């Protein structure tokens, strides 16, 4: 039953409606006053503003019709010859394991420093041939990642670094300017990529369904241009684009690419899948229609996984192979396809977790520093996920991998 009919039925059941001279007098539901309803075999009219404006049957017309259908029972009671079904919508709720959640939240910063120190302890520093000895690479990575985790300025962050030094997580306390200089070091970019991969490995037995998408992080730089149409100078924040692949159960990021704001999403999918498949057993890969192509479908299939990638209206499934199979799967078993595809929504949850906790903006000003800062946000997110799963699943992560600072490849 439509809402207008429902309101008409309520009006007929709760108010007195009478007929006078072939015209039905229907009281106003909102307040005092009456409306005149004229019921004819094929059409009806009402003096209310709603009917006069839209020329459609209003609730007063429906109320008069319901009264006409009433039947008088032997006992004097009346019934309405109209049946309707009320459907109750129940919200699906997912219970929170509060004991694990509370333990993870109250111990997060302590556990974060322990995991970060353990993860970065395997980094090997290549000593210079001459000059002043540099800060150990493990200390540099610890400082920039912990700085991003804290979300405070470099100067206010010094208290946290001194505490980390007193607890034995770093060998020496660097100057607050040094942290900014480390973020601008391009040699740390491949190392941060490798640390993100290493931080996801404790959950490789949990995650088999992966999803991919992209999201932007704003910077403090502005892009300006002259708008010839309106004859004025316009500006907007510059931003970088993160392309992570993450598990749909725990939201752990298994691989990520950081590109400029104009980078296309689709060409990055094969590389992200290949990096993830090196450590994870892929079963499904979900992505939106921005990643839909024969090349991507075949790349996922070559890794032994099923690509649940949405199709655009102009796609026809030509070309055979996995692209052809999934196109027909999408059209002829759409409900089943969408159940798998909508696992992609967990990528949005991952972005929400990262931006809500570590901010959606970047403090860095140079291109290299912006990339490294974004990678640090994702590394911090992975460690926070591990802390929660330590209490939820009972896992104990250990990172015993040694890295060479020259090539950042696990040895």
Per DSSP, what are the bridge partners of residue 260? Answer: 240
Q: Which of 100-109, 222-231, 245-254, 301-310 shows the lowest per-residue confidence on average (mean pLDDT)?
A: 222-231
Each residue's pLDDT tens digit, 262-298: 899 999 999 999 999 999 999 999 999 999 999 999 9
Chain centre distance of CA 147: 24
User: How far, in Å, are 34, 278, 382, 384 from residue 199 at the CA level?
Assistant: 72, 14, 6, 10
| Residue 76 scores a pLDDT above 80 | no
What is the spatial distance between Cα 297 and Cα 307, in angstroms, rounded to a whole number? Answer: 6
Chain centre distance of CA 162: 35
Tokens of 297: 């479908």
Q: Across residues 311-324, what is the average pLDDT?
A: 87
Q: Across residues 198-217, what is the average pLDDT?
A: 94
Chain centre distance of CA 296: 22
Per DSSP, what are the bridge partners of residue 34? Answer: 27
Among 282, 304, 300, 278, smallest CA distance to 291 is for 300
Q: HSE on the CB side for 202, CA within 13 Å? A: 26
Domain ranges of the chain: 3-79, 110-404
Please check whether residue 208 is in contact with residue 340, taking contact to mean a CB–CB distance below 8 angstroms. no
**With the CA atoms of 21, 24, 30 and 32 taken in that order, what torsion angle do they form, in degrees rounded to the nearest 10?**
20
Confidence class for position 4, pLDDT limits 50, 70, 90 = confident
Q: What is the pLDDT of residue 410?
A: 38
């Amino acid at each position: 039953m439509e809402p207008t009919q429902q309101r008409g039925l309520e009006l007929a059941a709760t108010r007195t409606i009478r007929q006078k001279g072939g015209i039905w007098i229907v009281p106003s539901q909102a307040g005092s006053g009456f409306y005149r309803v004229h019921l004819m075999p094929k059409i009806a009219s009402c003096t209310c503003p709603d009917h006069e404006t839209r020329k459609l049957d209003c609730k007063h017309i429906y109320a008069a019709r319901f009264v006409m259908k009433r039947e008088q029972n032997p006992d004097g009671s009346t019934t309405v010859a109209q049946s309707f079904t009320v459907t109750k919508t129940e919200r699906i709720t997912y219970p929170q394991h509060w004991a694990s959640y509370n333990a993870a939240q109250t111990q997060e910063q302590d556990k974060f420093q322990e995991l970060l120190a353990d993860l970065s302890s395997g980094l090997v520093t290549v000593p210079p041939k001459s000059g002043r000895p540099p800060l150990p690479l493990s200390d540099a990575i610890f400082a920039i990642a912990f700085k991003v985790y804290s979300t405070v300025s470099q100067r206010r962050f010094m208290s946290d670094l001194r505490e980390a030094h007193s607890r034995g997580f770093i060998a020496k306390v660097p100057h607050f300017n040094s942290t900014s200089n480390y973020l601008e070091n391009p040699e740390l970019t491949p190392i941060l990529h490798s640390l993100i991969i290493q931080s996801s490995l404790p959950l490789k037995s949990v995650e088999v369904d992966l999803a991919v998408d992209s999201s932007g992080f704003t910077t403090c730089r502005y892009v300006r241009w002259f708008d010839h149409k309106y004859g004025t100078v316009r500006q907007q924040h510059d931003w970088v684009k993160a392309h992570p692949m993450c598990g749909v159960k725990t939201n752990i990021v298994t691989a990520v690419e950081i590109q400029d704001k104009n980078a296309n999403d689709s060409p990055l999918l094969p590389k992200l899948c290949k990096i993830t498949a090196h450590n994870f057993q892929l079963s499904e890969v979900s992505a939106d229609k921005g990643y839909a192509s024969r090349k991507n479908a075949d790349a996922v299939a070559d890794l032994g996984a099923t690509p649940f990638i949405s199709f655009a209206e102009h796609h026809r499934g030509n070309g055979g192979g996995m692209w052809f199979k999934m196109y027909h799967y999408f059209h002829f078993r759409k409900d089943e396809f969408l159940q798998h595809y909508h696992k992609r929504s967990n990528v949005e949850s991952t972005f929400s977790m990262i931006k809500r906790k570590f901010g959606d903006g970047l403090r860095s000003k140079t291109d290299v520093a912006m990339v490294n800062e974004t990678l640090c946000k994702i590394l911090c997110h992975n460690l926070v996920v591990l802390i929660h799963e330590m209490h939820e699943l009972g896992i104990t992560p250990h990172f015993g991998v040694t890295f060479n600072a020259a090539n950042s490849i696990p040895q």
